[in-house]
Amino acid sequence: MARETHAAYTALITALKGINGSTGGYWLNLQGRVYERLRVPEEVSTRGMPFISAPASFDAPSFAHEELLIRITWTQWIHLFVPETATDKRTSTSALQSHKARSDVMRALLLSKTPGGFLSDTVDDLSFVSGGGLFGAIDADDTYAEVVIPVELTLGFAVGDIGSSA
């Protein structure tokens, strides 16, 4: 099962790296800036924004047994950072950028779930958990906003397919 969950995570990262601006129909161009560990904007210059941090989060998955099928569900946390470029403290450019960024992430993952997409062969179900998203949550220096997007992923296994991992 670890092999399958890792394959799903790898497919998710590949889908996110496809957010490539207007050529792919996206608002943002991440230029491949999708990190598999938690990075904070202080580690990346503002020229390195926007970017995504999506550390693998296989902890505490839920298991459901349905006759001849076992389902594993876990939440993958996606942290997306966008720069704040407004010089007037009464306005914000990052709020709109955050909204566009969240739309891009959702679009990339949903397209990836369609037949032939990166997630189509690795994940049985994908859903966006309500309560995610901190649009325009600015840091103390007003230099960036963070958008948190929790994504629930589900894999199903036939009981007969679960054997030794050797």
- Cβ-based neighbour number of residue 51 at 10 Å: 22
pLDDT tens per residue across span 29-72: 999 999 999 888 888 766 788 999 999 886 667 777 777 788 88
Query: pLDDT tens digits for 138-162?
Result: 666 778 888 889 999 998 877 666 6
Residue 114 belongs to a domain: yes
Structure pTM?
0.84
Residues 50 and 97 sit within 8 Å (Cβ to Cβ): yes
Domain extent for 144: 2-158
Average pLDDT for the chain: 83
pLDDT band at 132 (very low <50, low <70, confident <90, very high): low
Let me know if 50 is exposed, middle or buried by CB neighbors in 10 A (0-12, 13-18, 19+): buried
Residue 142 lies in a domain: yes
Cα dihedral: 20, 21, 22, 26 (round 10): 90
Is there a domain that residue 164 lies in?
Answer: no
Domain-located, residue 101 = yes
CATH classification of the domain holding 135: 3.30.2000.30
Residue 109 has pLDDT above 50, yes or no: yes
Number of domains in the chain: 1
